[in-house]
Amino acid sequence: MNRFTLLVLLPAFLVTTGSYCETDILEDPGFQFWCGARPCEWEVEEGEVRQVPTWHDYDYAIELVGAPVVISQRAKRGPNCVRIELIADVEPSAMLFVEIDFDDDGSADWSSPINRQGFQSMSWEIPSASSVRTWRFILRKAAEGRAVIAQLRASSECHSKS
């Protein structure tokens, strides 16, 4: 097998065996895209939100104002395992939760409180049943208090099937 053949076959092999990285399953995980007063890619289901700067005037985050506030986004696809990385500045009194609604049936199937102050990061790895077809990621604020989210990233695990 000559070098040219290897150059052609190797990429084809990597693609067909799943050895590639297409990880993000949420649009705009950093809340950078705003359509007026609302984030373009996130649904504001309840309450008020606003765009706020974080470490830089032009690096944005979303503040959940007052209570209750609920925002969500349905994932582009439903992998078998998701890694969630969240960066937030949240007062414990705000009672903020990150939730996942498998199959988007209106009820949260997984939930975790967020009480990190000073833009600290948190992460989780969440497996799902193979029958789950869709994932909806939800941020739910239940009480008054500062709650600023700089990032809610959800990514599928990247691994080779070979």
Partner 1 sequence: MLCKSIFAIPIGLACFLSAAPVQADQSFADGQTWGFEIGFGAGWAPDTAYTRRLDAFGYSPNDGGHYRMSFAVEKILLPYFSLLLQTNLLDNQVLYRPSGLGADDRFDWNSWSLDVHARAFVPTRNGRFRGYVQFGVGPTFTGSHLYTRTSADSGQVRHREFKVSYNVAGLLGIEGMVAKHFGFFLQGGYFFAPSLENLLGDRHQSGGGVLIAGFTGRFKRNP
- Binding residues vs partner 1 (CB under 8 A): 24, 26-30, 32-35, 40-41, 53-59, 85, 87, 118-121, 150-151, 153
Shortest reach from residue 29's CB to partner 1, in Å: 5
Tokens standing for residue 67 = 């209570």
Residue 30 vs 47, nearer CB to partner 1: 30
- Decide if 5 contacts 51 (C-beta within 8 A): no
Residue 74 vs 143, nearer CB to partner 1: 74
Residue 4 vs 55, nearer CB to partner 1: 55
Residue 69 vs 87, nearer CB to partner 1: 87
Distance CA 134, CA 156 (A): 13
Shortest reach from residue 81's CB to partner 1, in Å: 18
Residue 59 vs 105, nearer CB to partner 1: 59
Tokens standing for residue 35 = 């359509």
Shortest reach from residue 119's CB to partner 1, in Å: 6
Burial 35-49 (b: 16+ CB within 10 A, else e): eeebbeebebeeeeb
Distance CA 145, CA 92 (A): 8
Find all residues with CB under 8 Å of 31, minimum gap 6, and list them: 39, 42, 51, 60, 61, 62, 149, 150, 151, 152
Shortest reach from residue 63's CB to partner 1, in Å: 14
Shortest reach from residue 139's CB to partner 1, in Å: 16
